[in-house]
Amino acid sequence: MLPTTGKGSAGELARQCVDNGATAIYAMGGDGTVNEIVNGMAGSKTALGVLPGGTANCLAVELGIGTDLLKAAHRAHTWAPQRIALGLCTPELGASRYFVAMAGAGFDAQIVRDVDSKIKRKLGKVAYWIAGFGASLRVLPELHVKTVNGEAKVSFALASRVRNYGGDLEIAKTIRLQQPQFETVLFEGRYAVRYMKYLAGVLVNQHRGMSGVHVQLVDSLDLRADNGSPIYIQLDGEEFGQLPARLEIAHDALSILMPPTS
């Protein structure tokens, strides 16, 4: 077992394991920890096994591993490697970074940025709900999203590689990790209170087709701020810089250990 020593250390530990010839790396932590590890092993033949932990673990839920660490560990010997694509975010300023589950720009990335780290440590995912409701009266900056299908102006753009969002909701409904694409879900509206309606639609699985919501499958998308206001990006639930940025699929980028039922 190799414990992390702080933010960013998991990626370096993963690189060392790959360089030393590891055939598999098991990550026990939340989505942020998994993201760091993936960025330390992307492109290698080393397989990633995901053990649930941290504030949330979208990947463990997506794979059907669940949230019980002991049960997952006992079943890990039945998992088999499968090659998948990753998302790659390239900002105009700064280095590119891979992501496994999702990238979000606009409203949700601002919530990630606003979450109080002390409350997060005490309350876990509840901290995100607190930050979200705290933002419900804001006027939101807008961004332009350009895909092969055209261009849209929205306040929240989600490019997802998984169906579940935060481990509790399903916003992208049709995508699978085995598909080398993003399911993009775009939400219009300058006023954050509109997201109460969107949330209700998500909860009853009626958001697809709602006025102001656009869903499509794409290989890449370009994001830029509408009027120069800073708009942030989150990758796998962790803050990652500002727009403009490009999101694209990195094919055949990771071997992941999947349960037989995935």
Range(s) of the domain holding residue 77: 9-86+253-258
pLDDT tens string 95-149: 999 999 999 999 889 888 876 566 556 655 544 544 555 566 678 999 999 999 9
Work out the average pLDDT over 192-212.
87
Q: What's the domain count of the chain?
A: 2
Q: What is the CATH number of the domain that holds 174?
A: 2.60.200.40
Q: What is the CATH number of the domain that holds 69?
A: 3.40.50.10330
Does any domain span residue 4? no
Specify the pairing of strand 47-52 against strand 24-29: parallel
- Which of the pair, 196 or 146, is modelled with greater confidence? 146
Q: At 188, list the tokens.
A: 């219009």
pLDDT of residue 159: 97
Verdict on whether the full-model pTM lies above 0.85:
yes
Does any domain span residue 1? no
Work out the average pLDDT over 25-40.
93
Q: Among the listed ranges 11-15, 41-45, 77-81, 205-209, which one has the minimum average pLDDT value? A: 205-209
Is the pLDDT at 12 greater than 60, yes or no?
Answer: yes
Neighbours of 93 (CB within 10 A): 9
Write down how long the chain is. 262
Which string of DSSP letters, residue by residue, matches 125-181? THHHHHHHHHTTTPBPP-EEEEETTEEEEESEEEEESSSEETTTEESS-S--TTSSS
pLDDT tens string 228-248: 789 999 999 899 999 999 999
Closest to 234 in 3D by CA, of 129, 134, 108, 139: 108
Supply the mean pLDDT for the chain.
88
Do residues 25 and 49 touch, judged by C-beta distance below 8 A? yes
